[in-house]
């Protein structure tokens, strides 16, 4: 897939106010500081499309970007926030779950996972929740350039082993590096294939 255009459309905290057209949506979500904005900018080859910040938990709204005028990339707030009061944390969690439960245009969620860490309960719980709610998702292991290839492979294998304790099979997964551009083609090809399947079924 070639990215010909990627434009910011809107930010809001209410699912009802999201774009009304029927274009497919791909939501990107992960823990705070997982490198989500950097990944989005790398995929779109745009420096500041998604705002990166040294302060985790910066994305606190549902952000829609239209790509090639035919699909939406949705940048969602991180779950498990740094420095956010308990009451606002609840609100975030609520509108994140609202988005996933109510947004019919959602085709797939990409759950971002920092490949340097062992499987984190919060990531596993979130994917469990997606599974229970029958929301299709794929995993993106970020910051792959921070590990040697063997260590990266080992950490991903650990993750798969952990997931197979509760999952029948492992969802699709990708290893990416925002600074090196690793995984970009694979993720975009995956989105492209799903979009073609959708348009073929219309």
Instruction: Report the distance separating Cα 25 and Cα 4, nearest Å.
Output: 17
For residue range 77-106, list pLDDT tens digits in order: 887 654 455 665 555 577 788 899 999 999
For residue range 16-46, list pLDDT tens digits in order: 999 999 999 999 999 888 999 999 999 999 9
- Residue-range domains of the chain with CATH: 6-142+158-201 (3.40.50.300)
130 neighbors 109 (Cβ within 8 angstroms): yes
* DSSP helix/strand/coil, 194: helix
Beta bridge partners of 114: 142
Distance of CA 190 to CAs 52, 98, 179, Å?
Answer: 25, 26, 21
pLDDT at 53: 58
User: Per-residue pLDDT averaged across 135-148, rounded?
Assistant: 97
User: Per-residue pLDDT averaged across 136-153, rounded?
Assistant: 96
Q: How confident is the model at residue 131 (pLDDT cuts 50, 70, 90)?
A: very high
Report residue 94 CA to chain centroid gap.
17
pLDDT at 86: 61
């Amino acid at each position: 897939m070639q990215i010909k255009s990627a434009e910011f459309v809107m930010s809001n905290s209410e699912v009802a106010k999201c774009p009304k057209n029927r274009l497919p949506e791909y939501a990107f979500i992960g823990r705070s500081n997982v490198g989500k904005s950097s990944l989005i900018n790398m995929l779109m080859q745009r420096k500041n499309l998604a705002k990166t910040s040294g302060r985790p938990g910066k994305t606190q709204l549902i952000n829609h970007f239209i790509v090639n005028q035919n699909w939406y990339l949705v940048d969602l707030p991180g779950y498990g926030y740094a420095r956010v009061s308990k009451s606002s944390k609840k609100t975030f969690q609520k509108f994140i779950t609202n988005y996933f439960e109510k947004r019919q245009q959602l085709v797939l969620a990409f759950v971002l996972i920092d490949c340097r860490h062992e499987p984190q309960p919060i990531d596993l719980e979130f994917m469990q929740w997606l599974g229970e709610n029958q929301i299709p998702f794929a995993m993106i292991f970020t910051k792959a350039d921070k590990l040697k290839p063997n260590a990266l492979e080992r950490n991903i294998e650990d993750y798969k082993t952990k997931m197979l304790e509760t999952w029948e099979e492992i969802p699709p997964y990708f290893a990416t590096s925002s600074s090196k551009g690793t995984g970009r083609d694979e993720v975009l090809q995956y989105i492209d294939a799903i979009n073609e399947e959708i348009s073929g079924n219309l």
